[in-house]
Amino acid sequence: MGRIYTVVNQKGGVGKTTTSINLGAYLGHFGQKVLIIDLDPQANATSCLGIDRHKVENGTYEVLIGAKNALDCVLHNGRFKLSLLPSSPNLSGAEIELIELSDREKRLAAIAQSLTNRYDYILIDCPPSLGLLTLNGLIAAQDGVIIPVQCEYLALEGLGQLTQTLTRIRQGLFPELSIRGVLLTMFDGRTNLSSDVMSEVLKFFQDKVFSTFIPRSIRLAEAPSFGMPISVYAPDSSGARAYRSVAMELLTADGVQFDPGQE
For residues 80-93, b (16+ Cβ closer than 10 Å) or e, as one string?
bbbbbbbbbebbbe
Convert the pLDDT of each residue in 150-197 to its tens digit.
888 777 777 888 888 899 999 988 999 999 999 999 888 777 878 888
| Distance in angstroms (rounded) separating the CA atoms of residues 57 and 76 | 16
Judged by phi (left if over 0) then psi (alpha if -120 to 50, else beta), residue 234 lies in beta
Domain ranges of the chain: 3-253
**Range of weakest confidence among 4-8, 37-41, 134-138, 168-172:** 168-172
For 78, list phi and psi in degrees, rounded to 5: -65, -35
- Cβ neighbors of 199 (< 8 A, separation 6 or more) are none
Kindly report, residue by residue over 48-90, the tens digit of the pLDDT.
999 999 999 999 999 999 999 999 999 999 999 999 999 999 9
Beta strands at 145-150 and 121-125: parallel, antiparallel or unpaired = unpaired
Q: In whole angstroms, what separates CA 138 from the centre of its chain?
A: 11
Report the top-level CATH class of 3-253.
alpha beta
| Alpha-helix residue ranges (DSSP H) falling in 87-237 | 94-97, 107-113, 132-139, 153-172, 192-205, 218-222, 230-233
Q: What is the pTM of this model?
A: 0.95
104: left (phi over 0), alpha (psi -120 to 50) or beta: alpha
User: What angle is formed at CA 246 by the lines to CA 114 and CA 15, rounded to 5 degrees?
Assistant: 80
pLDDT of residue 263: 65
pLDDT score at 135:
93
C-beta of residue 177 within 8 angstroms of C-beta of residue 204: no
Task: Give the residue from 134, 146, 166 showing the smallest Cα distance to 21.
Answer: 146
| The amino acid at 259 | D
State the sign of the Cα–Cα–Cα–Cα dihedral 5, 6, 11, 16. positive
Q: For helices 153-172 and 192-205, what crossing angle results, to 10°?
A: 20
**pLDDT tens digits, 103-158:** 889 999 999 999 999 999 999 999 988 889 999 999 999 999 999 998 887 777 77
